[in-house]
Amino acid sequence: MVIRVEHPLHERRRGRNRGLGLILVGFVAIVFGLTVVKVLQLGDVSHLQAFDHSFRPGLIPIEEPLE
Amino acid sequence: MSDTSLESPLVQDAELGDYFALLKPRVMSLVVFTALAGLVAAPVQVHPYIAFVAILCIAVGAGASGALNMWWDADIDARMRRTAKRPIPAGKVAPSEALGLGLTLSGFSIVLLWLATNAMAAILLAFTIFFYAVIYSMWLKRATPQNIVIGGAAGAFPPVIGWVVATGSLSIEAALMFALIFMWTPPHFWALALFVRSDYGDAGVPMLTETHGRQATRRHILIYSLALAPVAVGIGFTSIGGPVYLAASLILNARFLWWALAVWRRDEAQAEADGYATEKRLFRISLSYLFFHFGALMVESLMRARDLGVALPW
């Protein structure tokens, strides 16, 4: 038989845990939103691309032929 | 776990609201308003989301310093009627929890403000928390009757931080917004101290009303009100001022001085006869005084943003 005894302490702790959970989720959402805004503020990010350990011909600047 | 440990009379299991009460939400609301005013008045536009995060960080930082203050002052809070129901003296939150909450929120708010805006704003927030928790709470509050005067600086920093969030640097406008709250705090608190029968003396806190007497407090209110007026009106002549602010400031300062003068002219017998009506009036006026000054600064900024601002000849 399962004994279930609800004490006011359990209610308080449940409320506290839910509140803390919401605060943590809110914190993650705030940091995520901040990251999105900061990245968008960089504008065109293509200039930040680099070879990154492997050779990527697409990143070599095209040289204009001399006339 | 036994039943006796569940019902410990010393520290009960706290609810979330008890932790929130540690952050002094009413003080936080003033901090949010003045920080927002400093941010809006600045001549540099900030992305709305970054502005939101910055204001949140400043509010949480202010709350953290409130929790540290309650941790340090738990002994005197327990001895005063006004503060005896705070979470620590009421036995709802353990002092160590308040200390942990204060330090954690301080760290989070400072680092996040740095990441969201700039290092200078974060340094100013860190200094504000240090000033309130250490300089004011731990040192001045119990040492000098001028505690309110110097401690008022902690409450004067938020608009400066808001300004630095936007511009990244200090300026005369930021300094004047600081001076406005700094000079406003003493007459505001002393007006309250005159009509609230406090037990600061029993708790060992040297308030001006008890160390120098109530008549000296009335004189101090008038002196600080006289010093406050030129600072407040002076903001109107800087780049963030304008005709709307100047008109509002002149009216607000004339009204504030009028009632400060009325408080100075009275003695205790007169005050007790009408239930401290004039002192209560000055206290209420001091609240709207600060609200309308910073509100006028935001109106000026919004008018400039919509090209409705009127350039003054200087």
Q: What is the pLDDT of residue B175?
A: 96
Q: What is the pLDDT of residue B311?
A: 61
Q: Which residues of B touch A12 (CB under 8 A)?
A: 13-15
Buried b (16+ CB within 10 A) or exposed e, B103-119: bebbeebbebbbebbbe
First-last CA distance in chain A: 93
Contact check, Cβ <8 Å, A16/B6: no
Q: Does B1 touch chain A (CB under 8 A)?
A: no
Evaluate whether residue B246 is within a structural domain. yes
Per residue in B132-185, pLDDT (tens digit) is 999 999 988 888 888 888 888 889 999 999 999 999 999 999 999 999 999 999
Quick one: B86 and B214 in the same domain? no
Q: Does A26 touch chain B (CB under 8 A)?
A: no
Q: Does A21 touch chain B (CB under 8 A)?
A: no
Evaluate whether residue B9 is within a structural domain. no
Locate the chain B residue with the closest alpha carbon to A21. B16
Quick one: B128 and B201 in the same domain? no
CA distance B157 to B136: 14
The C-alpha of B7 sits at a distance from chain A's nearest C-alpha, in angstroms, of 9
Quick one: B115 and B133 in the same domain? yes
Domain containing B36: what range?
A: 16-169
Q: What is the pLDDT of residue B7?
A: 42
- CATH number of the domain residue B39 falls in: 1.10.357.140
Q: What is the pLDDT of residue A1?
A: 62
Q: Which residues of chain B have pLDDT under 70?
A: 1-12, 197-198, 309-314
Quick one: B161 and B215 in the same domain? no
Residue from B16, B52, B58, B115 whose CB has the most chain A CBs within 10 Å, to mutate: B16
The residue assigned the tokens 């250490």 is B134
Quick one: B177 and B133 in the same domain? no
Q: Does A56 touch chain B (CB under 8 A)?
A: no
Size of interface A-B (CB pairs under 8 A): 32
DSSP A54: S
Quick one: B39 and B141 in the same domain? yes
At residue B204, what is the residue type?
G
Quick one: B146 and B222 in the same domain? no
Asked whether residue A67 carries a pLDDT value surpassing 70, the answer given is: no
Select the residue of B16, B115, B116 nearest A16 (Cβ to Cβ): B16
Evaluate whether residue B123 is within a structural domain. yes
Contact check, Cβ <8 Å, A15/B16: yes
Locate the chain B residue with the closest alpha carbon to A40. B47
| Domain-ending residue, one of B139, B169, B199 | B169
Per residue in A21-48, pLDDT (tens digit) is 999 999 999 999 999 999 988 887 777 7
CA distance A55 to A11: 60
Boundaries of every domain in chain A: 1-43
The C-alpha of A2 sits at a distance from chain B's nearest C-alpha, in angstroms, of 18
Q: Does B112 touch chain A (CB under 8 A)?
A: yes
Contact check, Cβ <8 Å, B13/A15: no
Structure-model confidence comparison of residues B293 and A15, the more confident one: B293
The mean pLDDT of A52-60, rounded to a whole number, is 77
Q: Which residues of B touch A41 (CB under 8 A)?
A: 47
Contact check, Cβ <8 Å, B16/A41: no
| Domain-ending residue, one of B153, B169, B185 | B169
Locate the chain A residue with the closest alpha carbon to B56. A30
Q: Which residues of B touch A20 (CB under 8 A)?
A: 16
Contact check, Cβ <8 Å, A7/B6: yes
Quick one: B150 and B279 in the same domain? no
Q: What is the pLDDT of residue B1?
A: 41
What percentage of chain A's residues is helix, strand, coil (to nearest 5)?
60, 0, 40
The C-alpha of A46 sits at a distance from chain B's nearest C-alpha, in angstroms, of 22
Q: What is the pLDDT of residue B313?
A: 58
Quick one: B102 and B156 in the same domain? yes
Give CA separation, B169 vs B111, B122, B123, B179, B301, in Å: 18, 12, 12, 17, 18
For residue B109, the SS3 value is: helix
Quick one: B188 and B308 in the same domain? yes
Evaluate whether residue B282 is within a structural domain. yes
Quick one: B122 and B158 in the same domain? yes
Quick one: B20 and B161 in the same domain? yes
Q: Domain total for chain B?
A: 2
CA distance B161 to B165: 6
Select the residue of A12, A37, A41 nearest B15 (Cβ to Cβ): A12
CA distance B58 to B216: 35
Evaluate whether residue B247 is within a structural domain. yes
Contact check, Cβ <8 Å, B15/A16: yes
Q: What is the pLDDT of residue B3?
A: 43
| Domain-ending residue, one of B143, B169, B195 | B169
